[in-house]
Amino acid sequence: MTRFIARLQRTISERGATAVEYGLMVALIAIVIIAAVALLGGNLSALFNQVAGSV
């Protein structure tokens, strides 16, 4: 019975660690997307305005 409990605790611990890792990856991806939009947003807007003006 103690082996089962130890195995269950190990499985729960590994699942928790995996969830934290996925959470960190999602947060990092979100930061990269926000930074890219902030840096390229002005340039993209100017490009669309230029295209709209030429049309």
pLDDT for residue 35? 93
The CA-atom distances, in angstroms, between 21 and each of 3, 4, 11, 28, 41 are 27, 26, 15, 11, 30
pLDDT for residue 42? 79
- Say how many domains are in the chain: 1
pLDDT for residue 8? 62
Instruction: Please give the model's pTM, rounded to 2 decimal places.
Output: 0.54
Find the domain containing 43 and state its range.
1-54
Q: What is the pLDDT of residues 1-53, one digit of tens each?
A: 677 777 766 666 566 667 788 889 999 999 999 999 888 887 888 888 899 98
